[in-house]
Structure 1
């Protein structure tokens, strides 16, 4: 066997957590947290119920992991952009939000994620807190880092966006929610909506000509 080539059984074991998370996300999306049965998750993933507990100690752990995995590419993308920011802060934000719209609004799975988390957070505050600590909090802090970077280089004016970078993301939540609730009868032109969001964000953040730098 060539070096680095995994045996079928080993490769299957390595892939199993991802398959469980995908099956769990589908079940949670269809039925919500309370009504989802781990038996159904196991059946969808083609495993036994006991196998789930090898990787995820509880249903709550499984839920948080499933939604975290769905948003992982977005946070990884932002982490790469904000770790050592260089050049235009606005260009960084534009690149990030282009990625966010592609994965969280245009894709059905992203819209389902936002709709599900909003629906479940009020009923299960412990899950909401864990979701915030694992995903939302770090995402907000990364946006704050880029805004402060822009202020520091004179590209952005000092504004409430430093304290509340949530304001920059809220149009994404609105677009995803709108598409989930009204997309079939009142569809948004998502390309124009995204362009309008980014234009408004730039106008609200950018410093005056006397302060801006290249």
Structure 2
């Protein structure tokens, strides 16, 4: 064997570049803030030219939307699937599964980073806010609305206003995401997201269950 021949560096596959760009974009957005982030800085971090980045994404807004699809978009899609598959058979178990899935996913800083960026920048970038509303919030609301309606039909949930139920269902996941990241203090406890989901579900579901005449 001729050991004098140097091995060639591995070539970067074109199909990997969108993920590399998004990874770099998330780092830059997190470090500098979305408003002040520059495409040239993202390109440099990804090891590409600015022109190469524009072959895949036409703006930093497009990058953030893609990051939302990878994180919050996947979570609400999974929630929608769980709701459609399980709400009719067992709405309580389905809610527990959705909440546990969401809290475990959002405990990962890489997953919660894009939703947090949108929440922080929504006031300055209304187009991003509208995108997040349609792509994430409305999908999540439809999933939870289906869950509540199926729970009512089966008699497992009592008749309460839909919007109140939706806020009660969705609120804990958003609150935990913010408290464990943006508003976290060094000495804050770090609860296991699976155990926390079970505890929250117990509180929420015990407020939703059908009441007897003596409890009214």
Report the TM-score, using the length of structure 1 for normalisation: 0.82
1:101/1:76 CA distance change after superposition, 3 Å: same
Q: Indicate how the Cα distance of structure 1 residues 183 and 110 shifts in structure 2: closer, same or farther if over 3 A, else same.
A: farther
C-alpha distance in 2, partners of 1:174/1:159? 22
> Which one of 185, 206, 210 corresponds to residue 207 of structure 1?
210
Judged with a 3 Å threshold, the aligned counterparts in structure 2 of structure 1 residues 56 and 164 are, in CA distance, closer, same or farther, namely farther
Q: Look up the SS of the partner of 1:207 in the other structure.
A: coil
Structure 1 unaligned segments of length 5 or more: list them: 1-7
**Displacement of 1:109:** 2.2
- After superposition, what is the alpha-carbon deviation per residue over 1:66-106, rounded to whole angstroms, capped at 9, x for unaligned? 122122331232132123434211111111111111110x2
Distance 1:148 1:162, change over 3 A: farther
**TM-score, normalised with respect to structure 2:** 0.81
1:165-180 equivalence runs, <5 A: 165-180=166-181
Instruction: From the two aligned structures, give the one with the greater helix fraction.
Output: 1
What is the CA–CA distance in structure 2 between the aligned matches of 1:45 and 1:83, rounded to whole Å? 39
For residues 133-172 of structure 1, the aligned pairs below 5 Å read 133-161=134-162, 165-172=166-173
**Aligned residues, how many?**
201
Partner Cα distance (1:190, 1:121) in 2:
30
Q: Does 1:196 align with 2:196?
A: no
Question: CA offsets per residue over residues 138-163 of structure 1, 9 Å max, x none?
Answer: 11211111111111221111212456
